[in-house]
Amino acid sequence: MSKYIVTGGAGFIGSNIVAALNARGEDDILVVDILGKDEKWKNLVGLKFADYMEGDAFRLAVQQDALGKVSAVFHMGACSATTEKDASYLVDNNYRLTRELCEWSLHNDARFVYASSGATYGDGAQGYSDDDEVTPTLEPLNMYGYSKHMFDLWALRNGVLNEVVGLKFFNVYGSREDHKGDMRSVVHKAFGQIQEEGVVKLFKSYNADYKDGEQVRDFVYVKDAVDVCLWFADNRRASGLFNVGTGTSRTWLDLARAVFAALKREPQIEFIEMPISLRGKYQYHTEADISKLRGVGYNAPMTTLEDGVRDYVQSWLSAG
């Protein structure tokens, strides 16, 4: 059986993990996903892996303990749509399946690295600390965030976080996100808007503390997110729940200007109305506290927004 399993392996972060493993000379990889009818399959083109399984067949293999010996499982597979309304589906797909795979991994001594989310922090009123005593107090704003939070809570209550790694990704952008539709990063959307209309459209602010475009996020380049995943697979002594971001918040205006700069064009930015359905669930400020990540020994520098956007735009988006 495969040395590595990557669920969501045709998705955004998952396919970049496969690419990074390939760069290490590793191709003994089982890729798991649900390819469906969209263009996600294109993320697999050019990657090297031993086998592919659809999600339902893989889940059955997990339940039947039929996967053999595996070194590490990167569980990136989930429904990541923050607008998904089917709560039952999210509970089964993002919580129950994650629990089944985690229990299988522990039983088979496979390193388990799973994707949690910065969405578990809700509006950020309680801060962005990944300390265990803070986790039970969090109140996500949408069902996607809550489905991720459910597994974090289960892992914490049952002592599982002493053996596995949960990564709370903040706003990840980068290569192989083309298939994500409305869930694409604003970097990707801004690039397309500039190519088509010459402008970037940002949501107006509905919070008096933030001017239009000055809402802030912690934008993390996918190469850094993947590097953290691989580091934890290599360092089994470090376990727990960790934020994955740069530790520095930046404005949407900073991001838009970085895209224009990468294209060597003067910024043209417009502000548009935010859909009413989003206004009560909108995060105006996120910033990962990465002191816990640094404390366990991950010392690699995080890519700045300007450097990450430049690399993404020039080496990937502009290259088609």
Read off the CATH number of the domain in which 143 is found.
3.40.50.720
Q: How far apart are CA 93 and CA 98, in angstroms?
A: 7
Write out the chain's pLDDT in tens, 320 residues: 579 999 999 999 999 999 999 999 999 999 999 999 989 999 999 999 999 999 999 999 999 999 999 999 999 999 888 888 899 999 999 999 999 999 999 999 999 999 999 999 988 888 999 999 999 999 998 999 999 999 999 999 999 999 999 999 999 999 999 999 888 999 999 999 999 999 999 999 999 999 999 999 999 999 999 999 999 999 999 999 999 999 999 999 999 999 999 999 999 999 999 999 888 878 899 999 999 999 999 999 999 999 999 999 999 999 87
Task: Give the number of residues written for the chain.
Answer: 320
What Rg do the C-alpha atoms of the chain give, in angstroms?
19
Determine, yes or no, domain membership for 141.
Answer: yes
- Note down the domain range covering 146: 4-173+221-246+288-302
Q: How far apart are CA 230 and CA 23, in angstroms?
A: 12
Determine, yes or no, domain membership for 312.
Answer: no
Q: How far apart are CA 169 and CA 255, in angstroms?
A: 18
180 is catalytic: yes
Determine, yes or no, domain membership for 194.
Answer: no
Residue 177, helix vs strand vs coil: coil
Determine, yes or no, domain membership for 87.
Answer: yes
* Residues ≥6 apart with Cβ < 8 Å to 257: 267
Distance between the two ends of the chain, CA-based, in angstroms?
35
Q: How far apart are CA 142 and CA 282, in angstroms?
A: 10
Looking at the 3D structure of the chain, how many domains does it have? 1
Determine, yes or no, domain membership for 128.
Answer: yes
Determine, yes or no, domain membership for 123.
Answer: yes
**Which phi-psi region, left, alpha or beta, contains residue 25 (left: φ > 0; alpha: ψ -120 to 50)?**
left
Exactly one of 114, 121, 128, 144 is catalytic; name it.
Answer: 144
144 is catalytic: yes
Exactly one of 48, 180, 189, 204 is catalytic; name it.
Answer: 180
Q: What is the pLDDT, as a whole number, of residue 1?
A: 56
Cβ–Cβ < 8 Å for 10, 171: no
Determine, yes or no, domain membership for 106.
Answer: yes
Look up residue 125 and give its amino acid: A
Beta strands in 162-235 (DSSP E): 165-169, 171-173, 200-203, 216-217, 219-221
Determine, yes or no, domain membership for 200.
Answer: no
CB neighbours (10 Å) of residue 227?
19
pTM of the predicted structure, to 2 decimals: 0.95
Q: What is the pLDDT, as a whole number, of residue 264?
A: 97
